[in-house]
Chains A and B, each alone.
Chain A
Amino acid sequence: MPAGTNPGATQANPVEKPLWIDPPSQWENIDQVGYVALPAIGATATIITYTAPSGRNGVIQKIANNFVGGGWVEGTGDILWKILVDGAGIPGANSYSAIPASLGSPANPVRISGFRIFENQVLTLVAFNNPAGPNGGVVVAGQLVGGRLVGFQYPKEYEADDIWI
């Protein structure tokens, strides 16, 4: 027995939480922020485009989207933000395909339950000037639409094979 060991003591094992809760040691930050001019009525503008690097999976945990300027009323649906993965809604996170309100500002993004991203996936945040809104969209007058996506990524080798969804 090595000197100094206590045979009666139990060894404390570190608690390892799933990757999407506690990042592993080789995690990398994801923080994407962007502003673009409000698109014309009926058009869509891409605010953020982020491609998950090869060999990395990750989690987005905070989001923000906002509007700078006048002519838009919160929640009307005249502008819809969308968070898309490879050009479609996020599987399992169905709530971000048509966001009618500001979910926090880029300076203060809101915490969400999160959604996973996988290597080479293209994550986009877009704003759609919706002509089907109650006011027929927002007349363009120099406004800006912006957003932010915050999370982390890690080497996909750390993924456990028992993650089934």
Chain B
Amino acid sequence: MPGSNPFSRRYTLQHPLARMLPLFRYQSQVYRLGDAHPPSGGLNGYGPDWEAVSFVLAPQATLQARVNLQRAFTLLAFTASGGVGLAFRAQIFDTRKQRRLGERGVNNNNLAGAAGAPQFLREPYEFDQPDSQVLVLVQNFATVTNTIQLVLYGQCLRFNEPHDVAPLFPGGNVPSPVPPSGLNAELEQAVNDFLDNAGDPMTRSGLKALL
């Protein structure tokens, strides 16, 4: 996989900003500093994606939501907000791979950054399977009704972005039944040329009618 971390596991996407991180205070220094020396990585052609799940949770209630993810969604960070303060627990599952990202709920302080700041992951997690979904379970442990939004920030590919690793389309590569217009015109011209050179006028007109 392009951009895989040469110093880590193979085929593991490296956070494009990870090489810019200092040893300390890295959460406050993760932003792209400039384009003169852009961080390299395997996210060329990707775009930012905020997948948000919002709940209005009754006191001490729990709810769940599934989000259909775009192609090759690569989870980079969490951020969260709450109406009456942040007091919730969340569990996250990759339903396509049937993988849990936590057996038990993670408190918001440990999952998302403080005061609405994003909590960037040291190692990104890619939902690389076609038609991936993420399942989010949220528990409100406040004793009042709370409006909670949990945002999964990441990068995803456009559905038809050329890419040498990621499948072209959710569900796998889908060949287009209609060739591009330019190719279609060339093909039609070639067939017409062939027919024009055919000997029998009746056959020629008959084949053209079939077209």
- Interface set of A (CB-CB < 8 Å, partner B): 82, 84-94, 97-98, 118, 121, 162, 164-165
Contact = CB atoms under 8 A, between A and B. Distances in A.
Contact of B141 (A86, A93, A118): A86
Nearest to B137: A91
A97 B141 CA distance: 11
Contact of B89 (A82, A88, A93, A165): A88
Contact of B60 (A92, A97, A164): A97
6 contacts: A91-B64, A91-B91, A92-B64, A92-B137, A98-B61, A165-B135
A89 B135 contact: no
B98 interface: yes
Interface of B: 58-64, 88-89, 91, 93, 98-100, 103-105, 135, 137, 139-141
Contact of B98 (A84, A90, A91, A164): A164
Which of B62, B100, B140 is packed against the most chain A CB atoms within 10 Å?
A: B62
Given A89-B140, A93-B62, A164-B93, 5 more contacts: A82-B60, A87-B60, A87-B141, A94-B64, A121-B104
A125 B100 CA distance: 27
Contacts of A94: 61-64
A147 B160 CA distance: 56
B82 to A, nearest CB: 13
Contact of A90 (B59, B62, B88): B62
Contact of A88 (B98, B103, B135, B141): B141
A152 B64 CA distance: 26
Contacts of B63: 94
A164 B101 CA distance: 9
Contact of A118 (B59, B64, B104, B140): B104
A92 to B, nearest CB: 6
B61 A97 contact: yes
B13 to A, nearest CB: 22
Contact of A91 (B58, B59, B99, B105): B105
B42 to A, nearest CB: 27
Nearest to A116: B103
Contacts of A89: 60-62, 139-140
A47 to B, nearest CB: 15
Contact of A98 (B58, B89, B98, B103): B58
Contacts of B64: 91-92, 94
A121 B99 CA distance: 22
A28 B34 CA distance: 61
A89 to B, nearest CB: 3
A75 to B, nearest CB: 17
Contacts of A98: 58, 61
A97 B135 contact: no
Nearest to B62: A89
A97 B99 contact: no
A88 B58 contact: no
Nearest to A128: B59
Given A89-B60, A97-B62, A165 B141 contact: no
